[in-house]
Every structure is written in C-alpha cells, then in structure tokens.
Amino acid sequence: MKIRAADQGDVDSLVALFGHWGHPQPREQVSAILALWSSGQHCRILVADDSGRLAGMAAVSASPRLADPSRDATLAGLVVAPDYRRQGVAARLLDAAEELARSWNCRRIELTSNRARGAAHQFYPARGYAETSASHARYVRPLTGNAPSGDGATARSGTSRAP
C-alpha cells in the first residue's frame, strides 16, 4: 500500500470515502475540493492506494503562527474504507500527515473529532494525541448572514447592540 497525494483521477473513489466519513459530497464538489487542496502550498489530501483502490484518505493543512515563525498543522479529516479498517491504514495515513507537517516546519498537529466517533477517541490518544478541550474553548461563527460592524456591535432589526 502506497501513501500519496490525491489527484483528479481519484475523485470517484474520494466520493465514496467522503460518504464513509459521514460528509457525503457530489462528484463535482469533491473535484472542486481536491483542486483547492492541491493548489495550496501547505495543504494536501493524502490517500492510501492499494493497487489502484483507495483504502483511505487524510487531509492536512498548515497555518502560520503569529507568536513565532513556525506553523501549526491541522488534520482536517481522516477516513478509512470499511473493508480496510483495523488493518493499520489510519496509522499509516496519520504518520504520513505528521511527516508532511514536519516538512512544513509545523510545531504541532491538531484535530477535532465528533464525540460519536468512539473508535477515533481510542485511536488518537493511543497515537500520542492529548485531548485539550478541558482547558480550551472552541468558538465557531458561520460567516453567512449579517456581519458584525467594526466596533463589535451587531446589527439586528436596524438597531445596534453591544455584545
């Protein structure tokens, strides 16, 4: 089994993997995602290729840090096809993602995982990942709809309110 960067010839297999991951996407969307991830300097979709059959994928990207000249990597997704689970494919993909992150001068790699993914919450700690949610808050804001004004006030029904 070879771990390599995904290419446009992998789109049909990636569609199936996105479905196994729980994030089904149409072929055109997967093709666009792959094009975007392939065009960046510090982002890559890796695949586990078993003689032309994709056993899994991992997506890793890196962002510059503000506090020092290194980067932090993010494992944006990792999935293994059902027929290949419990055979070391996830470990090989994770090793490749970590090695790529090191080559990008990343000081760490992080990820988020849905609590419903029980096997993942055994796999990552066994691989040396520490859960930090007890000491860090994660905030998410969709970037759709009304944007807040520059002073931090939010426009609602024609009025402004301080948070």
Q: What is the pLDDT of residues 96-145, one digit of tens each?
A: 999 999 999 999 888 877 666 667 767 778 878 777 776 666 677 777 76
CATH number, residue 101: 3.40.630.30
Report the greatest alpha carbon distance in the chain: 61
Domain contains 111: yes
pLDDT of 149 higher than 60:
no
Domain contains 69: yes
Domain contains 148: no
Total domains in the chain come to: 1
pTM more than 0.85: no
* Beta carbons within 10 angstroms of residue 39's beta carbon: 8
* Residue 61 structural domain: 2-132
Q: Which of 153, 14, 6 is nearest to 79 (CA)?
A: 14
Domain contains 146: no
